[in-house]
Structures are given as C-alpha cells and as structure tokens.
Structure 1
C-alpha cells in the first residue's frame, strides 16, 4: 500500500509541482461536477466517459469511437503524447491543485490486491495533470505530468523528463471508483489497464 503522508514528501522533496505544499488530502477525489467547475476555460460538451473495448476500441489499424473511425492507432498514440506534453509554462508556486485521488494499477483482469503499482493524481485550473507513480515492489517513485484536452476530454500523462510510456483515460473517468486506461509505448504497443481508487489507510494519517 502506498503512503502519501508527511513522511513520504520528506523522502521525496524533489517534485517540482509542489502540490504537497498545499493543504490537501491527496486521497480525496473530485466529482464530475467539481471537475467541470474547476477548469478556468471550461470543458467542451457534456461529460464523456471512455469505455475501452466498448465505446472506444481498436479495429485493425484504426481506432473506433461510438461506431465512428477516429484515426489510425499510431495517430491515436501520437495524440496522447501531444496531450501529455502540452504542459503550459506556469509558475508552480502559483498553481492551484484539486486532488483526483490515488489509484492501484492493474492490467486488465488483474487483481487489485496483488498490485504493487500506484498512481496519485491532481489537476490544476489550467488543466495540468500532475502526480506521482510508486512501485512498492522496487521502492521506486517518479513524478508524472500531462494535461487534459478539453475538446475530446482525454487526459494523458507521462514521466517528467521522458517521452514514453504515456497513460491516458477520460478526465471524467477519473471521477469514478474504477477507470479503464490505455498505456502507449514507444514501439507502438498499447495495453489496457485498470485504475481502481483506494481509500486512505488509517496508518497514512499518522505519517
């Protein structure tokens, strides 16, 4: 189980977005209404939820959404990378953050109980996605960042300082207890993963 209390931030002081300096409970999550009202420029259209394999799926070399071909699979991954790397140049000390919660990551049909991969995410009013990824099996941790495309409502993020892999889901998917996500790799491979929201452990309150 990951920990994001004072002890964690004391051991990882290098995170440049500085959300841990804000008086937020990072285990808390945002509702769809809160996300809609949070964006400075608003979101286009009604909330969209991406159900990978159902309303969005790969058919040959194409990506199909709501029975309409969107683009090729290669173009779709490139779009995700473009979204993830479109972080605006802003002063981190001036950014306001809203927690999106902490998730356990598993490959499709995997067991949450066996997961050692965890992701904490927050969103700014500018649509910046930021957070931390932890692998508790290796005790490795890294910062991730990305953005939300307000027209498609796709949220995508990747490692700070790196180009791949890129993870994406719908921004409104992140307001649910469970969210499917896609993980795009540089070699063109895409995997489907599940993000399952975690409740704050009692021990974390004391850290």
Structure 2
C-alpha cells in the first residue's frame, strides 16, 4: 500500500481555502471522545454512535434509528447535504484552530485496508466545521473536502468543495474510533455504505515531505 504523507511540501502544492500548510500540526493525530466533547460541544454531551445496519438502517424507502422511522431515504440524504453545505462563507481562515481527527484509508464495504488507494485527512474546528483532503495515491490526485457537524444529531457530513455530491457522513464520535462505517450519498439518490480505517503515522513522515 502506497501511504500518503502530509507535510510542508505536500501542502504547498495545494493552496486551498483552509491553508493547511500554515499549521504545524501532526494530521495523523486522533481525537479522543473527551477531547471531541470539550472541543465541539463544551458541555457534558452523551456521545452518539452511528452503527449502520444496526442502530440505524434502511428498510424500503425509509431510514430507521433505534427501530423508529426518522426520515425517508431521500430526506436523509438531503439532510446530509444540508449539513455538509452549512460551512459559513465569511470564516476568517487565518483565525481557525483545528483539531486533527486523523487520516483514514477509504474503502468500499468489506474492502481490505491493505489494498486502499484513497485516503482521507480530516480535522474539525471549534465551531464544528469539518475540513480536510481526499488523496488518491495511485493517480496522485487530491481535492479538498469540507462540511460541518450538526450539534443536535452529532452527524458529521462533508463533500468536495464547490460540488454538491457525493456526500460522506458518519457520527462525529465515530471518528474517534480506529475503524468506522460511513454512508456515501451520490447524486440521483443512491447511498452506499463504505468504511474508514485509521492510519498510523508512517515512519518516513516529516515536514519535509
């Protein structure tokens, strides 16, 4: 597996909105449950975990949470898009503080992390803005993603900057785990279940990469 390396040279190739190269941060670092709570919610919040196919699942045209219908499938995807699109336009990127959520391999459901070629770097700010990078190490293509955390439902959703689809979502606390399932909503109404697996920091990682 060709692992991604995020450092000064990588970020300088991509002068994106959030200016990742300005932050001397180890993006492989992960956030614990207490840290996410104090950073995003600042109150005593009970974490919610989204276990797709278990406590949240699709049946027919509806989405169920804890055996109760919470939305139609189309409504649930539209909600994810609204959460992802809720990033304010007037954020002063120079004042943003980021909490790294880690770097993950991205796989279709039941895929093998050892064969992964897609990787996702994510971070969250204190206002619940989610942002990061998707990198394909086979083609060396990369693009920026952003979205938000819905504080009430604790759903985190993000998508490519400047594009309405696809939208990826999971619970913000799911991202404190080493592996988690996510939903990927596509234009046209299709939703697929994918998986994320956290990466350890590679030995050759440095700010010179």
Q: TM-score, normalised by structure 1?
A: 0.96
2:189 aligns to what SS in structure 1? coil
Alignment of 1:140 with 2:129, yes or no, is no
Work out whether residues 37 and 45 of structure 2, in 8 Å CA contact, stay in contact via their aligned partners in 1: no
Alignment of 1:22 with 2:23, yes or no, is yes
Work out whether residues 43 and 150 of structure 1, in 8 Å CA contact, stay in contact via their aligned partners in 2: no
Aligned twin of 1:80: 80
Moved over 6 A (4+): none
Q: Deviations over 1:30-89 (max 9, x none)?
A: 0010010002x5468410000001110000000001111101000000000000000023
Alignment of 1:128 with 2:125, yes or no, is no
1:38 aligns to what SS in structure 2? helix
Q: Deviations over 1:107-151 (max 9, x none)?
A: 111010101000000000010000000011211100000000000
Work out whether residues 11 and 20 of structure 2, in 8 Å CA contact, stay in contact via their aligned partners in 1: no
Residue ranges of structure 2 left out of the alignment (5+ in a row): none
1:15 offset after TM fit, Å? Answer: 1.3
Work out whether residues 42 and 150 of structure 1, in 8 Å CA contact, stay in contact via their aligned partners in 2: no
Work out whether residues 50 and 171 of structure 2, in 8 Å CA contact, stay in contact via their aligned partners in 1: yes
1:26-45 equivalent positions in 2, closer than 5 A: 26-39=27-40, 42=42, 45=45
Work out whether residues 169 and 182 of structure 1, in 8 Å CA contact, stay in contact via their aligned partners in 2: yes
Aligned alpha-carbon RMSD (Å): 1.2
1:113 aligns to what SS in structure 2? helix
Work out whether residues 19 and 97 of structure 1, in 8 Å CA contact, stay in contact via their aligned partners in 2: no
Aligned twin of 1:90: 91
1:20 offset after TM fit, Å? Answer: 2.9
2:111 and 2:79 mapped to 1: Cα distance?
27
Residue ranges of structure 1 left out of the alignment (5+ in a row): none
Q: Against the structure 1 CA distance between its residues 43 and 165, is the aligned structure 2 distance closer, same or farther, given a 3 Å change threshold?
A: farther
